[in-house]
A and B are shown apart, each in its own frame.
Chain A
Amino acid sequence: MLIRRPPDLLAREITDESAYFGRREFLRAMGYGAGAVAVSAAAPAALMACAPGKVDPDDKLTPWEAVTGYNNYYEFGTAKDDPAKNAHTLRPRPWKVRVEGEVARAADYDLDDLIKPFTMQERVYRHRCVEAWSMVVPWFGFPLRDLIARLEPTSKAKFVEFTTLADRQQMPLIRRPILDWPYIEALRMDEAMHPLTLMVTGVYGKALPNQNGAPLRLIVPWKYGFKGGKSIVRIRFLEQQPRNTWNIAAPNEYGFYANVNPAVDHPRWSQKRERRIGELFRRETLPFNGYADQVAPLYAGMDLRANF
């Protein structure tokens, strides 16, 4: 697939110093060892490779405290500050990821082996929750498409499904059947192959904190945040569209696509505007969360009202 447009927010233009100073700490925390040098050298190159796009001067980075203290991670509680309080029981290493389904290189991978081949890059993305709040987050990771290319899905693979950890030892609260655990999310193959779609291992130049979905999560910046499964333990390639957890919980409220769309309200509340965390007043929500130029063609001819 061609890259139609680079990401329209450039990390180097708005990332504050602390994120850059933190980068080495991040690499240490990630345990790359010798590989770290190569990564830290490669990261600025990757950023420079992005041609300048339109930069919204309003998109200031959401502070670390908010990014890591205001989370939806229901396996650790349903209040926004619950995950930060409770997720310390998660053990992000050692970590296995099972790859299965319509894919040539199906296996159980150690996470570090799985991600070793990829150059980590910083991507500053807007993050829009279905609850009508948003953030601007400097993620660290690599495009999912690179991983998919290595795993060699078969021609039958039409969807990629991500399964989140559901372990009663590490997540005692999942005894409450709030959602149908384990948490499952999925993308159509062309969405998964889109260059904006990111596998994330860090944020703000540090290893991903547990409450943000350590050690590996998905970020799809033009979709509502719940599409981004956290603490991923299984990646499955499928011919049929799987059901995602929120769709199972409330089919009339949460669809499979979950593209950010101010024209289609949540049945109970408005999606026209959002509160950027850190601001008092709401701002307009943009179609596809402002990434329409890059991703709208994926949905050409589709009824986005029906496929919400």
Chain B
Amino acid sequence: MFLLALIPALKLARGVAIGYLGIDPVETLAIKTGTAAITLLLCSLAVTPIRRLTGWNELIRFRRLLGLMAFFYAVLHVATYVVFDQEGSLSLIAADVWEHPWVLFGMTAFLMLIPLALTSTRGWIRRLGGKRWNRLHRLVYPAAIFAVLHFLLAVKLDVRKPVLYIVVLAVLLGARVVWARQRAATQAPAGRPGPTPLTAAEPGN
């Protein structure tokens, strides 16, 4: 799984090594890292629904990896933007973020992912406690929404790809809403405890 998630980075590294990353290397970097980040983010969000539907619980072992790899690509993506598009100038970045929702959405998604990446360790789960950790990590939902909107606005006209991502995200989030409602419906009248609570070592998402 790790190697699979590393493929886009290896391809880019190979391009850098041979000195050819397409006709506009900065655009190639931006598009490939951005696409990899959003794809992996959606993969990490698919873990829980797939587990639930298939009972394939092994999958949980990969969720943190998927999330961290998504963050890794997001860092590369933002670094490409900061270094090549804005030459590291904070005032240029601030103006760009302020003036263009596209950039604002992308930046918001990235900033939301930072605390999630930082608290992804076992130590942080223990320190925060499963419940608080889970609450914090719900930030991944708005982050994913901002990320796909950022993708949509970045495309000039041919929106098939971003729309596909939006549909996938809508299904992944929609499934959670439906299950949460079912859970509430079965819990409330009977007053029974819900399905097995998630342990700190295996936080929900």
Contacts and interface: CB of A to CB of B under 8 A. Distances in A.
Q: Do A and B bind each other?
A: yes
A268 B87 CA distance: 20
Given A66-B23, A275-B26, A280-B25, A249 B96 contact: no
B76 to A, nearest CB: 15
Interface string A267-287: 011100001010011100000
A249 B157 contact: yes
B85 A282 contact: yes
A275 B84 CA distance: 9
A268 B101 contact: yes
A78 B100 contact: no
A282 B100 CA distance: 18
Interface residues of B, number: 19
Interface string B83-114: 01101000000001001111100000000000
B28 to A, nearest CB: 10
Interface string A75-103: 00010110000000000000000000000
A70 B99 CA distance: 28
Interface in A254-308: 265, 268-270, 275, 277, 280-282
B99 A270 contact: yes
B100 A270 contact: yes
Given A268-B153, A270-B96, A178 B23 contact: no
Contact of B23 (A65, A179, A269, A282): A65
B58 interface: no
Given A78-B158, A250-B157, A280-B84, A268 B102 contact: yes
Interface in B24-58: 24-27
Given A78-B158, A280-B26, 7 more contacts: A74-B158, A80-B24, A265-B99, A268-B102, A269-B103, A270-B99, A270-B100
Interface of B: 22-27, 84-85, 87, 96, 99-103, 153, 156-158
Interface of A: 65-66, 69-70, 74, 78, 80-81, 131, 133, 178-179, 249-250, 265, 268-270, 275, 277, 280-282
The 9 closest A-B pairs by CB, nearest first: A78-B158, A70-B23, A66-B23, A268-B102, A280-B84, A268-B153, A178-B158, A69-B23, A277-B24
